[in-house]
Amino acid sequence: MRPARFWLRSLGGVGTLGAALLLGLTAAPTAPAAPAASAAPAAATVTHEAENAVISQGVVESNHAGFTGTGFVNYNNSTGSYVEWTVDAAQAGSTSLTLRYANGTTANRPMDITVNGAVAAAKRAFPGTGAWTSWATTTVTADLKAGANTVRATATTANGGPNVDHLAVETGGPAPGGKTPVAINGQLKVCGTKLCNQYGKPVQLRGMSTHGLQWYSQCVTSGSLDALSTDWNADVLRISMYIQEGGYETNPRKFTDLVHSIIEQATARGLYAIVDWHMLSPGDPNVNLSRAKTFFTEMSQRHANKNNLLYEIANEPSGVSWSKIKSYAEQLIPVIRQNDPDTPILVGTRAWSSLGVSEDSDETEIVNNPVNASNIMYTFHFYAASHGTEYLNTLSRAADRLPMFVTEFGTQTASGDGGNNFTRAQQYIDLMASKKISWSNWNYSDDERSGAVFKEGTCNKNGPWTGTGQLKPAGVWVRDRARTPDDFPTS
Integer Cα distance of 148 and 253 in angstroms: 54
Other beta carbons within 10 Å of 461: 10
Pick the catalytic residue from 49, 170, 363, 408: 408
Strand partners, 45: 170
Instruction: Give the whole-angstrom CA distance, residue 207 versus residue 445.
Output: 13
CA 158 vs. chain centroid, Å, equals 40
Nearest-angstrom CA–CA distance, 217 and 278:
15
How are strands ordered across the β-sheet holding 82-89?
A: 54-56, 82-89, 147-155, 111-115, 118-124
Distance (Å, rounded) from C-alpha 205 to C-alpha 343?
15
Alpha carbon 296 to its chain centroid, in Å, reads: 24
d(Cα 472, Cα 450) in Å, to the nearest integer? 7
- Stated as kind and residue range, the H or E segment containing 216 is helix 213-216
Task: Read off the DSSP letter of residue 61.
Answer: E
> Has 408 been annotated as catalytic?
yes
One-character DSSP codes across 440-454: EEE--S--SSTTSSB
Which residue in 51, 245, 316, 363 is the catalytic one?
Answer: 316
10 Å CB burial of residue 427 (0-12, 13-18, 19+) is middle
Rounded-to-integer distance, Cα 407 and Cα 441, Å: 7
Strand 206-209 and strand 236-242: the pairing is: parallel
The alpha carbons of the chain give a radius of gyration, in whole angstroms, of 23
330 given a catalytic annotation:
no
Instruction: Tell how strand 136-144 and strand 147-155 pair up.
Output: unpaired
Helix (H, G, I), strand (E, B) or coil at 139: strand
Residue ranges of alpha helices (H) inside 271-363 are 289-302, 322-337, 350-353
How far apart are alpha carbons 415 and 386 in whole angstroms? 9
**Residues that are catalytic:** 316, 408
